[in-house]
Structure 1
Amino acid sequence: MEPLRGDESSVEPDETTIATRGREVDGVALGTVLGELPRPTVAWSAEGQRVAAGGSAATITADGPDRFDHVRRAGEALFAGRAVESDLPRAARPRLFGGFAFHEGDKDEGESPWDGFPDAQFVLPAVQVVRTDDGSTWVVATATGPSAGTEAEARLDEWVDRVEGLEDTLPEDGPGIERRTFTPDDAGWRRQVEAAVERIRRGTLRKVVLAGALTVDLRDELSVPSVYERLSDTYPDCFRFLVAPEGGGHFFGATPERLISRDGRTVRTEALAGSTGRGDTPEEDEWLASELQDSEKDRHEHDLVVEAIKSQLSPYATSISTGDRTVRRLATVQHLQTPVTAELAEDDHVLSLVEALHPTPAVGGLPPDEALETIKDAEAFDRGWYASPVGWFDAEGDGTFAVAIRSAVATERRVTLFAGNGIVSDSDPDREWDEVQLKYRPVLDALE
């Protein structure tokens, strides 16, 4: 059977008819479906919902400093022409999935794992398989154009037949790792951190998040759906994502950090900063958590993030509240976390909030402009979409975006992982190096 290509296009604001059809199905192996779907491919798993989607009914691409606004306007124009079956659950209705680059405009010259990833790209999937939080599973087909309804019906019939016949055939083991290359190496990292600490102590820079890259060459062929499933099994409480554009690699990860969720005028986010490892015993685990909560350095770093998020949201909100600071425990690392909730004064689109919050001090620094300049000066690689906003938005301007940390980009038998740490005036390079290694573990464990 020929792979589905969809009605691929680069969308400018215009009048486009969208038709969406869906049908509930039973017993679908989502991981196997993900491997069958055509490019561009996206996957999203969070808060009890899972989406595996492929093909493009429409694509929005943007570059440059206005990329957030361009995507928002193009999305609003696209959704203005939708015709959706009313009995579809909300999670199965049309959404645009995608994300943004961390920096706009700057690209490494020559070969890069980020080839094919523009400054922003969002896809209205031609077909998606959605598992909702009530446990039901839906196959959803979308088409655009004058005969959108007929095409969506035919596409739905085709893909219901395909997915219902699939069995779970994903490899159980990872591909294995032959070689690892750090950028920078440990000595280079030490110089990078020491230079940042000196810059903080002598100037206005208060915090900067420096990242490293770990490139691994694989022993066997990579099954991205299999790695994605292993991440989902190990990190069920994280946001799991996959973005694979038509002509690029696979960007995937399991991030604990929400950037923003908008549902009407209620928005949710959280500060996630300050980290330590997990213990080998419950007693050691508790001791490490207590040390984290008592650490002046980590509390300072965390409080900077909380105050910055509140400041970034304040122009949009009538009220902002924070919950208790707690320890968020993941498989390999523990973080300080504070939930933040706000009520909007107006019906601001989720992408307006994404633009206001990106980058948070948890992945950029303070003051933002000086931190970004420090990152560009210090880091010896292109961040691409690492630590960037990835997620979805819908016709109402609602949506959820996560911060794409604990992530990697894969091309053939090579995977580049990314991890970073917040650097403040009393940061120790050796400790920061050790913490960065912990943050590589989620993807490394899924590959090994």
Structure 2
Amino acid sequence: MNLPGITIHKLIDQLTQSPFSFALYRLPWTDEPILVLQEEGKTEILGNPTDLNGKRGFVLTPFHQTQTHPAIIIHPDKVAHGWGNISQVLEDFASARNITSAGTIITEKKITNDEEAKIEYEQAFSRFITPLQNKAFRKLVLSRNYTQELDITFSPLSAFIRACNSYPRMMISLCHTPLTGTWIGSTPEIILSGHETEWHTVALAGTMPMQGETMPTEWSEKNQEEQAFVSEYIRQTVKRFGSKLKEKGPYTARAGQLVHLKTDFHFQLKDTSHLGDILKELHPTPAVCGLPKEETYTFILRNEGYDRSYYAGIIGWLDPQGDTTLYVNLRCMNIAGHTATLYAGGGILPSSTVETEWEETQQKMNTMRNIL
């Protein structure tokens, strides 16, 4: 991706500390940055996914909605494609308003201790593996976060551009609102995308590291079983809303220095005014929650030991009358002052081992560490 001018670079970094809401994102296999800017008014809070019915704008929802972490939509007062158009929009915006003043209260987060993080994860793993081995659940997803210090010269936009150049297969995002703070992400997982009658979602589960530049293809029984659970849930959900369902997969798909098992689901929708209803059923998918969905969702909230915030929520562009590109917010981090809090998780089955799952979260967090 080409670099924007110095002035625009500074303006976007300043926006991440302002009272204004914006999202900058780039879709997979493109070089075009897209800016969504809300010029006026407070960020709209959504009660639940069905509130998205008929809405148009940039969406950011948490894994679990609370007063601290509400679901929001950024109104698209201005939408600009490409650095040239983005520069013009931001220059006009800056000339009319002061965007240099801080609009969010930034509380530096406690830096994570490596040894303590490992111990906490092992304790959480023991809480998760027991009900799986007792066959109370078929699958659980265990995640964690990690807070590290940023260099004083850290630039959110520079990190966004590095992610764009490093991860062409993923949706890259830089999103800021006074309610959510600043988030940078690099996600491979579509939750819902489409245009008019043609729609698409995916089942993405199972993880292995790349072998240099060679994609491994020999998947363990655990990974195949995990992917099958996710596919079956999405298959049944899509059938309730769409028609003419077609599947492709599972196949090995690369995401940065990792590979996953992926199945594509293509289907038709006659009515796009109720996309929020579909999202309510899809989110959270078993890829970030577990099976059975409601029971594992409640278990995670009670036993994971921390708030996932906007990790594993929904992020992206929603337009029922145009193109919709919504993703699961994976491989992401929250920027607060001079700290970055990274998030990662993995599917746990009765056959899982704590060392293997810990290493998987390390590899996933490296997606964000590599752009810091």
> Shared topology, TM-score over 0.5?
yes
Shift of 1:205: 0.9
Q: How far is 1:259 from its partner?
A: 0.7
Shifted more, 310-319 versus 243-252: the winner is 243-252
**Do structure 1's residue 336 and structure 2's residue 265 form an aligned pair?**
no
- Mark the CA change 1:194 to 1:405 in structure 2 (over 3 Å): closer, same or farther: same
Cα pair 2:138 2:290 within 8 Å, conserved: yes
Determine the structure 2 residue equivalent to 1:97: 58
| Structure 2 residue aligned with 1:252 | 184
Instruction: Please give the secondary structure, in 2, of the residue aligned with 1:384.
Output: coil
In 2, the alpha carbon distance for the partners of 1:410 and 1:27 equals 21
Conserved? CA contact 2:246–2:267, under 8 Å? yes
Residue type at the aligned position of 2:254: R
2:113 aligns to what?
A: 181
Which residue of structure 2 aligns with residue 50 of structure 1? 33
Q: 1:35 aligns with which of 13, 17, 28?
A: 13
Match of 1:219 in 2: 151
Q: Does 1:354 align with 2:279?
A: yes
Aligned: 1:414 with 2:339: yes
1:138 aligns with 2:116: no
Aligned residue for 1:10? Answer: none
Displacement of 1:140: 9.9
Conserved 8 A contact 1:235-1:330: yes
Check conservation: 1:267, 1:343, Cα contact below 8 A. Answer: yes
- 2:103 maps to which residue? none
Q: What is the CA–CA distance in structure 2 between the aligned matches of 1:44 and 1:196, rounded to whole Å?
A: 35
Identity within the alignment, %: 24
Distance between the aligned counterparts of 1:317 and 1:334, measured in 2? 29
Residues 157 and 372 of structure 1, relative CA distance in 2, 3 Å threshold: closer
Asked if 1:238 corresponds to 2:219, the answer is no
Where 2:227 maps in the other structure, the secondary structure is: helix
Shift of 1:158: 2.8
Q: After the TM superposition, which residues 61-140 of structure 1 pair with which residues of structure 2 at under 5 Å, given as runs?
A: 61-62=44-45, 66-72=47-53, 75=55, 95-105=56-66, 118-131=69-82, 138=85
User: Would you say the 8 A contact 1:328–1:336 is kept in 2?
Assistant: yes
Separation in 1, partners of 2:115, 2:315: 24
Instruction: Write the distance in 1 (CA, Å) between the matches of 2:9 and 2:165.
Output: 11
Contact 2:190 2:201 in 1 (8 A): yes
Q: Counterparts in 2 of 1:186-197, with a 5 A limit? A: 186-197=118-129
Aligned length: 351
Rounded Cα–Cα distance in structure 2 between residues aligned with 1:443 and 1:55: 27
5+ long unaligned stretches in structure 1: 1-25, 76-94, 108-114, 142-154, 163-177
Note if contact 1:253-1:443 (Cα within 8 Å) is conserved in structure 2.
yes
**Pairwise CA distance, 1:304:** 0.6
Answer whether contact 1:253 1:407 (CA < 8 A) is retained.
yes
Query: Deviation at 1:301?
Result: 0.2
Give CA-to-partner distance per residue, 1:393-419, whole Å, 9 cap, x none: 225175111000100111110111100
Inter-CA distance 409–201: structure 2 relative to 1 (3 Å threshold): same
- Counterpart AA for 1:138: N
Distance 2:304 2:142 in 1: 7
In the alignment, the residues of structure 2 paired with residue 157 and residue 55 of structure 1 have an alpha-carbon distance, to the nearest angstrom, of 15
SS of 2:308's equivalent?
coil
**TM-score in terms of structure 1 length:** 0.71
Relative to the length of structure 2, the TM-score reads 0.85
Note the C-alpha offset of 1:324: 2.4
Aligned to 1:291: 218
Question: 1:158 is matched with which residue?
Answer: 92
CA deviations 1:144-170 (Å, max 9, x no partner) are xxxxxxxxxxx79935999xxxxxxxx
CA change 1:125–1:32 in 2 (3 A) is farther
Which of residues 229, 232, 242 is equivalent to 1:307?
232
Tell me: higher relative CO, structure 1 or 2? Use CA pairs within 8 A at least 6 residues apart: 2
Report deviation, 1:179: 5.8
| SS of the residue 2:370 aligns to | helix
Give the Cα–Cα distance (whole angstroms) in 1 for the partners of residues 163 and 64 of structure 2: 26
Instruction: Give me the whole-angstrom Cα distance separating, in 2, the residues matched to 1:72 and 1:211.
Output: 30
Distance verdict in 2 for CA 1:182–1:366, change over 3 Å: farther
**Matching residue's letter, 2:274:** H
